[in-house]
C-alpha cells in the first residue's frame, strides 16, 4: 500500500487561484530556474536555504530534484492579470498528514502588500480540503521578521526554536530557526473562516 504522503492527489496538480494571484504547478525546469534565482539573491538565500554560501549549479539541481519528487510540490506565484512571476510556494507532504510549507517572494516589497497571506491562505485551504492535510508546519530564520509575522497572521503557533542551526560567515552571526504549526481545532477554524 502506498504511504499517505506518496499518494497521487489529482488536486495537487491543479492551479490554485486567489482574488489576485494564481499558484501554477511548476515542472522541473521551472523549479530549477526559480531555485537558482533564489540561490543567487544574497538576501533570500540565507532565509530560505539555511546557508549563506551561493550553491553551485549541481547543488541547485539536487535541490530541484528533492522539490519535484512524489511528496514535494512547487507552485509559481503569478499575478493573475499579467502572469508576472512573484515567487514560488512549495510544500512537502510528510507522514501523519503533514505538509511543510516554504514561500519565497523575489521582491521584498511584495511582502508588504499581503501576497504571502493571500497565497498561503488559499494553499492551506486547498491542501486541507483536497489532500486531507491535518497538520501544517514551517520554519523560518528568527531574523526573518516578515515570515514570522506571516505565520502569526495565519494563526500558526510557534512550537519550537532550533538554536545555532548554522553560522553566517559573512555577517558573523549565528543562525537560529523558529518552528510553527497549524493543526487541530485552529486548522478547522481556519478552513471554515477562509472557505470561499
Long-range CB pairs of 152-158 (<8 Å, 24+ gap) are 153/117, 154/117, 154/120, 154/121, 154/124, 154/182, 154/190, 155/182, 155/186, 155/189, 155/190, 156/180, 156/181, 156/182, 157/181, 157/182, 157/186
Question: Stretch 146-174: mean pLDDT, rounded?
Answer: 81
Q: Could you tell me what percent of the chain has a pLDDT over 70?
A: 78
Q: Out of 1.20.1080.10, 3.40.630.30, 3.40.50.300, 3.40.50.620, which CATH number does the structure's domain 14-193 have?
A: 3.40.630.30
What pLDDT does residue 16 have? 93
Asked if pLDDT for residue 154 goes beyond 70, the answer is: yes
Rounded Cα–Cα distance for residues 25 and 14 (Å): 7
Cβ pair 145, 178 in contact under 8 A: no
Q: Which cell is 93 given?
A: 507532504
**Does residue 50 carry a pLDDT above 60?**
no
Q: 63-100, pLDDT tens digit by residue?
A: 666 666 677 888 999 999 999 989 889 898 888 899 99
Average pLDDT of the chain is: 82
Q: Are 66 and 55 in contact (CB under 8 A)?
A: no
Give residue 180's pLDDT.
Answer: 94
Neighbours of 191 (CB within 10 A): 14
Strand runs labelled E in 95-185: 98-105, 135-141, 157-168, 173-183
Q: Is the pLDDT of residue 129 over 80?
A: yes
pTM: 0.82
Give residue 10's pLDDT.
79
| All structural domains of the chain with their residue ranges | 14-193
Q: Is the pLDDT of residue 121 over 70?
A: yes
Report the distance separating Cα 141 and Cα 51, nearest Å: 11
Amino acid at each position: 500500500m502506498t504511504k499517505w504522503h506518496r499518494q497521487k492527489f489529482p488536486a495537487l496538480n491543479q492551479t490554485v487561484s486567489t482574488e489576485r494571484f494564481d499558484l501554477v504547478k511548476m515542472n522541473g525546469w521551472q523549479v530549477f530556474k526559480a531555485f537558482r534565482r533564489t540561490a543567487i539573491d544574497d538576501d533570500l538565500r540565507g532565509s530560505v536555504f539555511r546557508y549563506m554560501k551561493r550553491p553551485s549549479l549541481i547543488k541547485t539541481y539536487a535541490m530541484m530534484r528533492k522539490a519535484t519528487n512524489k511528496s514535494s510540490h512547487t507552485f509559481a506565484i503569478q499575478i493573475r492579470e499579467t502572469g508576472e512571476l512573484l515567487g514560488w510556494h512549495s510544500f512537502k507532504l510528510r507522514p501523519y498528514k503533514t505538509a511543510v510549507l516554504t514561500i519565497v517572494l523575489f521582491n521584498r516589497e511584495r511582502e508588504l502588500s499581503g501576497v504571502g497571506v493571500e497565497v498561503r491562505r488559499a494553499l492551506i485551504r486547498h491542501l486541507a480540503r483536497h489532500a486531507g492535510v491535518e497538520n501544517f508546519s514551517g520554519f523560518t530564520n528568527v531574523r526573518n521578521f516578515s515570515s514570522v509575522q506571516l505565520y502569526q497572521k495565519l494563526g500558526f503557533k510557534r512550537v519550537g526554536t532550533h538554536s545555532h542551526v548554522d553560522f553566517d560567515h559573512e555577517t558573523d552571526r549565528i543562525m537560529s530557526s523558529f518552528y510553527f504549526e497549524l493543526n487541530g481545532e485552529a486548522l478547522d477554524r481556519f478552513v471554515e473562516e477562509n472557505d470561499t
